[in-house]
Amino acid sequence: MESAAALIPLWIKVAYTVIVLITVAVYIFKYPLGNFLWFSDIALLVTTAALWLESPLLASMMVVGTLLPEMLWNVGFFGQLLTGRSVSGLTDYMFDAALPRYLRALSLFHVVLPVLGLWLVARLGYDPQALTAQTALAWVVLPLSYWLTDPKENVNWVFGWGAKPQQRIPSLLYLALLMAGFPVLIHFPTHLVLQSLFG
């Protein structure tokens, strides 16, 4: 029986976990394992732990790391859904008829993830250590994405922004700039907003 002091209802934990298990099972068969290095996929998995452990740090880390990219994904998706035109290129695959509908449907976790993350942080509180912890995680994940994944997949954009690898500067210099850019352009601004709202 769930503790009366639990902050997250049991049904949310169970429902989310079932969705994650189904998504992971399908992705294992359909995508290379390197696909799980996407920050959004990491957030999908770690949010499961944040729910069950009711961990402010884990919840805060995932929101710090993914809120802005997920907002861009949603703008791209709903913009293209409403206008029929590609907005950012990030969500073009969601409108690719060659991709099975069930795979595209599973990707709708991008719609739920930022909402759930913000709700969790509002419920559990924001842990300011998330900024340092998420930056450390990113500095592990980005080199792994570079070394272990196919440039054609461009996981976490480690080979260039967009569908094709960039050719303008040396690839390791680009990776270093990306590793600096994530904390400066994504993590820190999100940290400031979350700290002001939920700190």
Alpha carbon separation from 181 to 66, 135, 148 (Å, rounded): 14, 10, 21
Residue 3 and residue 46: Cα distance in Å, rounded? 22
Q: What is the mean pLDDT of the chain?
A: 94
* Domain assignment of residue 175, yes or no: yes
Residues near 140 by Cβ (< 8 Å), separated by ≥ 6?
none
Task: Indicate whether 109 belongs to any domain.
Answer: yes
- pLDDT of 193 reads 97
Structure confidence at residue 5 as a pLDDT band (50, 70, 90)? low
**Which tokens is 57 given?**
């740090």
pLDDT tens digits for range 90-149 = 899 999 999 999 999 999 999 999 999 999 999 999 999 999 999 999 999 999 999 999
Confidence tier at 4 by pLDDT (50, 70, 90) = very low
* Half-sphere exposure at residue 171, Cβ-oriented, CA atoms within 13 angstroms: 13
Regarding predicted confidence, which is higher, 88 or 107?
A: 107
The burial of 3, by beta-carbon neighbours within 10 Å (0-12 exposed, 13-18 middle, 19 or more buried), is given as exposed
Judge whether 154 lies within some domain: yes
List CB contacts of 148: < 8 A, sequence separation 6 or more.
34, 37
Number of domains in the chain: 1
Q: How far apart are CA 116 and CA 119, in angstroms?
A: 5
Residue range(s) defining the domain that contains residue 137: 10-198
Q: Which pLDDT score, from 0 to 100, does residue 3 have?
A: 47
Residue 113 placed within a domain: yes
Q: Is the pTM of this model over 0.95?
A: no
